[in-house]
Structure 1
C-alpha cells in the first residue's frame, strides 16, 4: 500500500492502468483530450504489479484499474470519472491540472 500511495502522490494526476485494458485506454484519451497530462503506471508491466494490484483492490474496488488519483487523492472509479465528465464537472475539477497552451 505504501508504494501505491507514494506513486499516487508523486505527480499531480496519476492513473494506475493495465496496458491491455480498454477502460484504461478510454480514461487516458479523455484526459489527453481535455489537456491533462497523466502519469501512468502500467501495473501489468511493473515487477511489483501483483502487489500494486492487491493494494488497489484494498481501496475498495473489485477491479484494480483504472484508478485515478488527483493531488494524491483517489478520484474513484471510471464510472465516477465518466459521470463527472458527462455532467460537466470534470473539466472544472481538472482546470488546475490542464497544460497551458
Structure 2
C-alpha cells in the first residue's frame, strides 16, 4: 500500500544580516549575480511567485523540449525588482519590448521603467527576449524553435 507524504513547503532560507556575511559574497538580487544567471543559461524565465503566466511560459517551453530554470521574485519585494531593473538597464537589453504602456523612448530609463516591468521575463541567449506575448507570438509564427536552437537550448 502506498503511503501519503505530507506537504512540505521549501522556502528559501531566511536572509542573513549584512554584518554576519563576508564582504565578498553577493546576494541573489545583486546585478552581477542576475547577469551571471542570465548569461549562464540559454533560456531563463524570471517571474513573480505564483504568477500563472510564468507557468504558461514554462509549459510551452517544456512542450518544445526546453527545461528553463524559473526564478521567482516576491511580489512585494521592491528591492529585488529595483536591482533587476538596474541589471537589465546596465546589460543594455531592450526592456521596452515588455512594457505594455511605454512605446516612446524616454531619456531617463531608471524612472520610466521602474514600475512598468511585466513578468515573466524570458531571456534567450543572454538577451531579453520578451514576455508571454512575445513568446506566444513567435511560437505561433514558427520562429521560436529556430531561435531556441540558435541559443543552444534545443539540440535537434
TM-score range, shorter chain: 0.7 to 0.9
Alignment match of 2:61 (pick from 13, 31, 50): 31
Q: Choose 25-34 or 74-83, whichever is displaced more.
A: 74-83
Unmatched tracts of structure 2, length 5 or more: 1-30, 90-94, 100-115
Higher relative contact order (CA 8 A, sep 6+): 1
**Paired residue for 1:53?**
81
Larger strand percent: 1
Larger helix percent: 1
Contact 1:35 1:98 in 2 (8 A): yes
Report the TM-score when normalising by structure 1.
Answer: 0.78
Q: How many residues align?
A: 97
**Paired residue for 1:75?**
129
Distance 1:64 1:6, change over 3 A: farther
Which whole-Å CA distance do the structure 2 matches of 1:18 and 1:53 have between them? Answer: 10
Report the TM-score when normalising by structure 2.
Answer: 0.53
Unmatched tracts of structure 1, length 5 or more: none
**Paired residue for 1:14?**
44
**Paired residue for 1:85?**
139
**Paired residue for 1:40?**
70
Misfit runs of 4+, over 4 Å: none
Question: Which one has a bigger Cα radius of gyration?
Answer: 2
